[in-house]
Structure 1
Amino acid sequence: MIAFVFPGQGSQSLGMGKEILEKYPEYKKYLDKASETISVNLESIIFGDDEKTLTLTENAQPALLTISYIMYMYAVEKLNIIPDVVAGHSLGEWTALTTAEVISFEDAVKLVRLRGKYMSEACPPGIGGMGAVIGLNIENIQEVLSQFNNVNIANHNSPEQIVISGEKQEVLKALEVLKEKGAKKVVELNVSGPFHSKLVEPAQEKMKHELENIKFNNPKYKIIQNYIGDLEYDPEKIKENIIKQITGTVKWVDSIRKMKKIGVTQVYEVGPGKVLTGLVKRIDKSLNPKNILKV
């Protein structure tokens, strides 16, 4: 069985997707369609020279979804590699839903643009923060975080790498305690907000409202969702999980282990960069992860 995994925010880079678009200019139609849908010239942002503009959450999210979707079309149409299972890391889960035809490409682009905007607005700059904890298991981290009211686990990325999120001063204090408790390394992350924490709850509420009138279809592929770290088939539950994911933990380790359990033998990262390739390797090397561009 083959799984496609789609990267989240942070994997965007200027010029991403260039190698495919130069070789197969017909895929530019998706870039045009996305730009038209949200009235933003994504092509000029992605292929310009202003990294700050691309990094803005409301630009990064639709840009990354569009390029990852183009790479998915390339994999299916040009390489004849069809996934059995799809999953995405945080924002990447929206790409997974789009490839599985749970929602249309246009709806997905529009919704992730709003998701990015609402996430940026949810918490004033400087109030929230995130930090990475290396070399301490999840049980020990949870024990420490139980002493803090406004910090939680945001991403369980690999057995060795866990990200925490919440109120900035509490995050910094928690990182100090975690270092004392034996973490090999702790790093404050340079992010625009406390993603996957209760501080971005206003964004979750707004997205819930946006999705009320969007019909979710039965998935074409098996989908493993971040919020549950498991398979979900019911369109209404898929919708519920993608909303809860905004403040919930990205259960990436559980998601990859689930793939292995159901018989996946090959994982392809479909999107720019190799962040997920590295994480999957640390979770289970036998899944032989590689970026689709390296095929």
Structure 2
Amino acid sequence: MKAYLFPGQGSQFAGMAKDLYHYSEESRQLFEQANEILGFRLTDIMFEGSEEDLKQTKVTQPAIFLHSVVLALLTPDFAPDMVAGHSLGEFSALVANRTLSFADGLRLVQVRANAMQKACELAPSTMAAILGTTDEVVEEACASIEEVVVAANFNSPGQVVISGTFKGVELACDKLKAAGAKRAVLLSVGGAFHSPLMEPARAQLAEAIEKTTFQTPICPIFQNVDAKPHLDTQQIKANLIAQLTAPVRWTQTITQMQQAGATDFIEVGPGNVLQGLVKKIYRQGNTSSLVLA
């Protein structure tokens, strides 16, 4: 069974999707429709902008979504057995399994990106990758610190990302290194994603999601908040709203997909970050990237 995976923030690169834009008239129409919906020429930044330009949350998220979704929509006979997306990628996955239309998915991503950027400005904060220790050790260390800091992404065995205030993340990194973690690496991000500091963004996104039509999906989506497959649109909405302040349970998601019968994990979008994570989680599975010939 084929499981299609959609990447999140961090997969962007200068010049992304330029070849995809020129692939066909249909692809150009989708990119131009996106520019019109967003109210600015995202494609100019994607194709000609610098790495720094692409790091802005309000640019990064729609850029990755657009790259991923156009690739999926243009693939002949695209028929996933199951889908999942890492953080932002969950919106791309919901377009791929027909829960959301292309236009509605992009509008929600724009709301999400702008709301998250505002939340970051309200509460300056950061994230760090903790390598070489267990999920439990990371969670215990974060819980013992009075500052806001939480486990935000369970990416693979031995790789957990923490999220919180600058002070909270610093204290947690020191504590975890003292407890035996191999490395604690600060990430170049705009703020504390998937932490309580994203509450203002969660509230704004919730309002937009509740106003959006969600169709019955053609296959299950394994969602970040509980790593379980979902087909019920009301539950999908609730999980999508909760996702902003809850951790991304990626290790558990890939494990659950494998137990549900997934044998081929196919990454759809820029980069190959998710392929690497899948190989660490599920070594028997085939991994690849979706490429248009």
Q: Please tell me whether residue 15 in structure 1 is matched to residue 15 in structure 2.
A: yes
Task: Give the Cα–Cα distance (whole angstroms) in 2 for the partners of residues 112 and 206 of structure 1.
Answer: 12
Aligned residue pairs total: 292
Q: In structure 2, what residue type is equivalent to 1:142?
A: E
Question: Which residue, out of 97, 102, 111, partners 1:100?
Answer: 97
Paired position in structure 2 for 1:28: 28
How far did residue 49 of structure 1 move? 3.1
- Rate the CA distance shift 1:81–1:114 in 2: closer, same or farther, 3 A: closer
Tell whether the 8 Å contact from 1:20 to 1:74 is kept in structure 2 after alignment. no
Paired position in structure 1 for 2:116: 119
Report the TM-score when normalising by structure 1: 0.95
1:45-194 matched pairs, under 5 angstroms: 45-75=45-75, 77=76, 80-124=77-121, 127-149=124-146, 150-194=148-192
Paired position in structure 2 for 1:214: 212
- Rate the CA distance shift 1:71–1:161 in 2: closer, same or farther, 3 A: same
User: Where does the alignment leave 5 or more consecutive residues of structure 2 unmatched?
Assistant: none
Task: Give the Cα–Cα distance (whole angstroms) in 1 for the partners of residues 52 and 123 of structure 2.
Answer: 18
Q: In structure 2, what residue type is equivalent to 1:226?
A: N
Q: CA RMSD in A?
A: 1.5
Q: In structure 2, what residue type is equivalent to 1:108?
A: G
User: Where does the alignment leave 5 or more consecutive residues of structure 1 unmatched?
Assistant: none
Tell whether the 8 Å contact from 1:229 to 1:251 is kept in structure 2 after alignment. yes
Task: Give the Cα–Cα distance (whole angstroms) in 1 for the partners of residues 233 and 40 of structure 2.
Answer: 30
How far did residue 294 of structure 1 move? 9.0
Question: Which residue, out of 244, 247, 253, partners 1:246?
Answer: 244
Task: Give the Cα–Cα distance (whole angstroms) in 1 for the partners of residues 158 and 129 of structure 2.
Answer: 10
Task: Give the Cα–Cα distance (whole angstroms) in 2 for the partners of residues 109 and 42 of structure 1.
Answer: 12
Paired position in structure 2 for 1:43: 43
Task: Give the Cα–Cα distance (whole angstroms) in 2 for the partners of residues 66 and 195 of structure 1.
Answer: 21
Instruction: Point out 4+ residue stretches in structure 1 off by more than 4 angstroms.
Output: none
Measured against aligned partners, the alpha-carbon deviations of 1:129-164 in whole angstroms (never above 9, x if no partner) come to 111000101011111112024111100000011000
Task: Give the Cα–Cα distance (whole angstroms) in 2 for the partners of residues 27 and 16 of structure 1.
Answer: 14
Q: Please tell me whether residue 195 in structure 1 is matched to residue 160 in structure 2.
A: no
Identical columns (%): 38
Task: Give the Cα–Cα distance (whole angstroms) in 2 for the partners of residues 81 and 217 of structure 1.
Answer: 18
Tell whether the 8 Å contact from 2:71 to 2:292 is kept in structure 1 after alignment. no
How far did residue 127 of structure 1 move? 2.5
Task: Give the Cα–Cα distance (whole angstroms) in 1 for the partners of residues 102 and 112 of structure 2.
Answer: 15
Task: Give the Cα–Cα distance (whole angstroms) in 1 for the partners of residues 251 and 211 of structure 2.
Answer: 32
Task: Give the Cα–Cα distance (whole angstroms) in 1 for the partners of residues 74 and 182 of structure 2.
Answer: 40
Paired position in structure 2 for 1:232: 230
